[in-house]
């Protein structure tokens, strides 16, 4: 099973937030996930990204691939 770390959309209309989730690559964006490892809220100023570093490292060590959107957020967070 190919595993990816993706953003999953949730929240109400006009106030979207995202979960950082580990899921099978073939599942659609808001489908079933294996584990939730963080939350991204673009509505705050500045936008907030919180995630469990240990679980992120665990999944990356197991071969999970990071989606392009998550990669941009992580690089931005690490530079700050």
Closest by alpha carbon to 55, among 79, 36, 80?
36
Structural domain spans, the chain: 3-79
Structure token digits, residue 48:
């907030």
pLDDT of residue 78: 83
User: Quick check: helix, strand or coil at residue 75?
Assistant: helix
Question: How is residue 27 annotated by DSSP?
Answer: S
**pTM for this structure?**
0.86
- 65 neighbors 4 (Cβ within 8 angstroms): yes
pLDDT of residue 28: 77
Name the one residue in this structure whose structure tokens are 């929240």: 11
Asked whether residue 45 carries a pLDDT value surpassing 80, the answer given is: yes
- 2 neighbors 67 (Cβ within 8 angstroms): no
Asked whether residue 64 carries a pLDDT value surpassing 80, the answer given is: yes
Q: Is it true that domain 3-79 has CATH number 3.30.1320.10?
A: yes
């Amino acid at each position: 099973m190919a595993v990816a770390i993706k953003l999953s959309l949730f929240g109400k209309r006009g106030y979207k937030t995202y979960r950082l989730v580990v899921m099978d690559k073939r599942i659609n964006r808001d489908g079933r996930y294996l584990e939730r490892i963080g939350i991204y809220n673009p509505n705050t100023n500045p936008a907030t990204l919180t995630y469990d570093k240990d679980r992120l490292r665990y999944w990356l060590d197991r071969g999970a691939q990071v989606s392009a959107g998550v990669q941009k957020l992580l690089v931005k967070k690490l530079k700050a």
